[in-house]
Structure 1
């Protein structure tokens, strides 16, 4: 699965765009941020709340150490109560992650997935090496029901075994993180999830549409041309 585009409500389009351009070194044109094969479309939030939105960006696993050093020079990392900032996940994940705050209270993540192809690059990391938005957090009142609908609609498989408050659907290129709306985001566990006004266009899945009116998010996958 790929996240082809994602519409993100923001408090100030120009200010948030500058963050992605200056801090993360991503190409920004007007209200569109390009992250590999994903377009992040910024729009005025209006009545939609901001804060609590989770997005992850894929980094080639062989560049994860360089990416960590690059990010540390630009912004602080989130940490657990014990002070941990680097998280290694085994099983179906086979990945390493670091988390950081973005504008408007975004919960952002760099993740290196070891099953994906290596970059082969060396030297200082640059934001242009981020390959995509690979995760979006989707809060819901019923994780099992929302996950079942997403699997049936888009033909997705779980990336890892689901638990009552968390399900990851998709593959290494793109994952829907379906979470209980009362579960605070890892690792600092201080912010509740929010995705109101977020609209995601998926690729490489079965065509269909799915939304959560109570939480205000919507997914669509157009039919292949």
Structure 2
């Protein structure tokens, strides 16, 4: 499964464009009412919107060979979120991954994740890590098990690990939709609930052609 496009809103287009261009050094195009950010094989679209409760969550994949560079490079630009005093956070059992977390515009919980499955993928050739794609998008839903079933039926996707009543990823190492209970706090923050705001996701999946609405605000196009 590949995440091709994610669209969310922002309260300040200028600030969002500046963050993704100047802090993360990504290609950014600014329109009258939106900002487009190219993240490897994926595109992030930010549209002008009102203030909302909670926070979105996005993870950007990097090569394992880029992780050390990414950690140091990012730490000079933003404040990293720690867990048990560590800026480097191991993924759940079965993920074989390491991550660093930080916040972006409108409090979005961002993550750079290096998966062992991407061993051998070329790292960046300059002073900045190479971002491969949007690897994960988090969505808060009222019923995680129901949402997992809907994604499986619509797109032929499988639940990933761990499969918990309040947290279940769907997809694979190439792309995950992280389904969480809308009252569950985003790890590794201490207070950030999932955003109560619209998110639209376009994916490549085994079954395509469907449009699915999850919960009240999330739309998936396959």
Distance across 1 between alignment mates of 2:218 and 2:3? 14
Among 94, 98, 101, the residue aligned to 2:96: 94
**Residue in 1 that maps onto 2:39:** 35
| Alpha-carbon contact 1:166-1:177 (below 8 Å) kept | yes
SS in 1 for 2:68: helix
Distance across 1 between alignment mates of 2:48 and 2:124? 38
**Residue in 2 that maps onto 1:71:** 74
Superposed counterparts of 1:41-190, under 5 Å:
41-46=45-50, 49=52, 51-80=54-83, 82-89=84-91, 91-121=93-123, 125-127=127-129, 129-190=130-191
**Residue in 2 that maps onto 1:8:** 8
Deviations 1:144-166 (A, max 9, x none): 11111111111111221301110
Structure 1 residue 133: Cα displacement? 0.7
- Segments of structure 2 that go 5 or more residues without pairing to the other structure are none
**Residue in 1 that maps onto 2:204:** 203
| Alpha-carbon contact 2:157-2:205 (below 8 Å) kept | no
Deviations 1:15-68 (A, max 9, x none): 10110000000000112100001111110114x626410000001011111111
Structure 1 residue 187: Cα displacement? 0.8
4+ long deviations beyond 3 Å: 119-125
Deviations 1:158-183 (A, max 9, x none): 22130111001111111000000000
Structure 1 residue 132: Cα displacement? 0.6
Distance across 1 between alignment mates of 2:132 and 2:124? 16
Distance across 1 between alignment mates of 2:91 and 2:19? 28
Structure 1 residue 123: Cα displacement? 6.6
SS in 2 for 1:184: coil
SS in 2 for 1:131: strand
Distance across 2 between alignment mates of 1:28 and 1:143? 34
Task: Name the Cα RMSD after superposition.
Answer: 1.7
| Alpha-carbon contact 1:93-1:159 (below 8 Å) kept | no
